């Protein structure tokens, strides 16, 4: 079974992520295959739009396939992850800026690398099973794949809340936070795809879209703003009451399990991107951390705890937010100079 099904179908270019047993986790080869298809279809007059979906009902894409990053890191090969991210980030920017409509169908889990493929398109469709998240801080990474741009654009300070906690959004939350556009029950997806393939017209989407479900994040917005407006991770923690409301109780429980350095850097990245909301600038900020993190203990330890030993008990370099020195945040976020992203290259 091939990991990807790529074909021209009527007036659509159609890409299906086809690793259902692995929750359609994204490999390096899959990134390159998606990019090649988009390049082929950009100037193809027979392709009016692109459809990207995932096989199975459990996930659109659960994230990047990080097991090989762990293995290469254990071998001391830090270039593998850096090359992977360079190519993946170039794909993310290409999807964001693509000249034709890209319609994505985000059932089940859409997380991390799946957000990079599914949530930069022009028409992002969610359903009753959708669970979207940026959980990178749980493995010592920062919200990347251009996700910092979506977080920076989210209402109020929902971006900091979602980026630091890794909390999962249902369909209503995803639409409210700007990760999705329309809610359409999954039972209607097959008919919609057939119509898009036949007509090449995205106008059909709005004719069958349902009102967005209620958003929990919207109800929590005031409480989130009161705490997550802080300039630094320390400011955010200090703003948490000794008797917090449900939103902040939930946030703190999640954050206390995550990598303190990653959360501190994520806070700075989201703030920087909010000042200059541009996809390539967002990816550049993210790459400063991801380039360096392959040599930093937290990322490898986070993968170990999550998918290798599965003990869910990572031993982070810093015990808590109070232990993270500002100098280390600065070291992980300074420009990379000659090692910075170069958008024209393919490795």
Q: What is the pLDDT along the chain (347 residues), one digit of tens a residue?
A: 589 999 999 999 999 999 999 999 999 999 999 999 999 999 999 999 999 999 999 999 999 888 888 888 788 788 888 999 999 999 999 999 999 999 999 999 999 999 999 999 999 999 999 999 999 999 999 999 999 999 999 999 999 999 999 999 999 999 999 999 999 999 999 999 999 999 999 999 999 999 999 999 999 999 999 999 999 999 999 999 887 899 999 999 999 999 999 999 999 999 999 999 999 999 999 999 999 998 878 999 999 999 899 999 999 999 999 999 999 999 999 999 999 998 765 54
Question: And the tokens for 307?
Answer: 């998918």
In this prediction the pTM is: 0.95
Give the three-state DSSP class for 216.
helix
Residue 295's pLDDT is what?
Answer: 83
Give the three-state DSSP class for 209.
coil
Query: Most distant CA pair in the chain: distance in Å?
Result: 61
Q: How many Å apart are CA 185 and CA 191, to the nearest integer?
A: 11
Residue 73's pLDDT is what?
Answer: 77
Closest C-alpha to 180, from 171, 188, 189:
171
- Cβ atoms of 148 and 275 within 8 Å: the answer is no
CA 194, 196, 200, 204 dihedral sign is positive
Q: How many Å apart are CA 292 and CA 289, to the nearest integer?
A: 5
Question: And the tokens for 40?
Answer: 């082929």
Q: How many Å apart are CA 187 and CA 95, to the nearest integer?
A: 26
Residue 1's pLDDT is what?
Answer: 57
Task: Please give the sequence-ordered ranges of beta strands (E in DSSP) within the chain, or none if there are none.
Answer: 4-9, 12-17, 49-54, 59-61, 102-106, 109-111, 123-126, 131-133, 182-183
Residue 296's pLDDT is what?
Answer: 76
* Residues in the chain, overall count: 347
Closest C-alpha to 133, from 177, 89, 184, 85:
177
Residue 345's pLDDT is what?
Answer: 52
């Amino acid at each position: 079974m091939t990991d990807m099904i790529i074909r021209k179908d009527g007036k659509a270019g159609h890409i299906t992520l086809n690793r259902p047993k692995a929750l359609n986790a994204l490999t390096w080869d899959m990134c390159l295959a998606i990019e090649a298809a988009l390049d082929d279809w950009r100037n193809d007059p027979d392709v009016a739009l692109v459809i990207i979906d995932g096989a199975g009902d459990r996930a659109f894409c659960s994230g990047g396939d990080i097991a090989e990053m762990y293995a290469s890191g254990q071998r001391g090969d830090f270039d593998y992850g850096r090359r992977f991210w360079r190519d993946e980030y170039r794909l993310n920017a290409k999807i964001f800026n693509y000249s034709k409509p890209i319609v994505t169908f985000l059932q089940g889990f859409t997380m991390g690398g799946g957000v990079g493929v599914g949530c930069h398109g022009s028409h992002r469709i969610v359903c009753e099973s959708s669970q979207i998240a940026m959980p990178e801080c749980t493995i010592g990474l920062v919200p990347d794949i251009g996700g910092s741009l979506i977080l920076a654009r989210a209402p109020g300070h929902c971006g900091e809340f979602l980026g630091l906690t890794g909390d999962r959004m249902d369909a209503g939350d995803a639409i409210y936070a700007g990760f999705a556009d329309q809610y359409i029950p999954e039972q209607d997806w097959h008919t919609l795809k057939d119509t898009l393939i036949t007509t090449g017209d995205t106008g059909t989407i709005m004719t069958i879209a349902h009102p967005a479900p209620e958003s929990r994040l919207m109800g929590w917005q005031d409480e989130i703003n009161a705490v997550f407006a802080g300039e630094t991770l320390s400011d955010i923690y200090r703003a948490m009451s000794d008797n917090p409301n449900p939103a902040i109780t939930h946030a703190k429980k999640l954050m206390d399990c995550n990598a303190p350095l990653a959360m501190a850097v994520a806070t700075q990245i989201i703030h920087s991107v909010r000042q200059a909301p541009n996809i390539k600038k967002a990816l550049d900020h993210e790459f400063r951390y991801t380039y360096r993190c392959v040599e930093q203990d937290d990322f490898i330890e986070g993968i170990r705890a999550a998918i290798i030993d599965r003990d869910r008990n990572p031993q982070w370099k810093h015990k808590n937010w109070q232990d993270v020195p500002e100098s280390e945040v600065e070291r992980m976020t300074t420009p990379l100079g000659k090692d910075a992203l170069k958008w024209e290259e393919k490795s």
